[in-house]
Amino acid sequence: MYSIIPIPAFTDNYIWAICNPETGAVIVVDPGDAKPVEAFLQQRRYSLIGILVTHHHMDHIGGIQSLKDHYGVPVYGFEKSKIDTLTHKVKEGDTFSLMGLEFSVLEVPGHTLDHIAYTVNEDLDKPALFCGDTLFSGGCGRLFEGTADTMFSSLAKLKSLPAETQVYCTHEYTLSNLAFARAAMPENNDLTRYRDSCESMRSAGNPTLPSTIEIERKINPFLRCDTGEVKSSVSQQIAKTLTDERQVFADLRKWKDSF
């Protein structure tokens, strides 16, 4: 009944369109630019009925005012965010219904302090996670406002979601993330197979997303800081033996920043 379609924006953003083809209703997630959304709606003769926002960076909110003015739709975002276009402010544990779907809210600070994610566990063929810039396939967001410890806790929430959860992040960073993941986990065969698959997808002009929580648990070094392979690589990188997974995560993130 529902479909989830990426609308490309800027250089590597995806604005996710959650669509009900039977009614033509659409919810968009993180519309940093209104023009590609409007083109998508016009081409398919769909109607926008809501906007979900994960955090305040301009490449995620830049198109909201124009879409809101044109379509008069509700805009959901974190209650403590300074985004001035929000109409519905939500927090951890809140649920709301939109387009016949029930969304749940997770607070996942780290990339920014106002970052939230949305999950849909019923009504879709598979559970879905809209996680903005917190979790990427093979990676995670930079720490612009939060600490490494904060981001570690946020990722732990996402890691604990059902394995079949589809991961809809908002950037096509997968191949560059996997290059770093390979440095951190050179003997990981799951990673090798996944990289080859993603390279084929990109060669064909297709997105590498969505990923799944199951895949990320296997190939994403930022979700594997409790494993010997990642602890060993990070320890070698900083010439110091690490055992605490939170410290491993902190030094892994620093390594990625300069990779």
Note the Cα 38 to chain centre separation in Å.
22
Q: Which helix (H) or strand (E) holds 88?
A: strand 88-90
How far is residue 180 from each of residues 42, 137, 160, measured CA to CA in Å? 39, 12, 23
Number of H helices and E strands in the chain, helices first, is 9, 14
How large is the C-alpha radius of gyration of the chain?
18
β pairing state of 116-120 and 3-9: unpaired
Closest CA relative to residue 56, chosen from 93, 111, 11, 18: 111
The position carrying tokens 């890691």 is: 159
Q: Return phi, psi of residue 14, to 5°.
A: -120, 125
Q: Enumerate the active-site residues.
A: 55, 57, 59-60, 111, 133, 171
Helices within 52-188 (DSSP H only): 58-61, 64-71, 148-159, 174-184
Closest CA relative to residue 108, chosen from 86, 145, 134: 134
- What is the distance in angstroms between the CA of the first residue and the CA of the last residue of the chain? 42
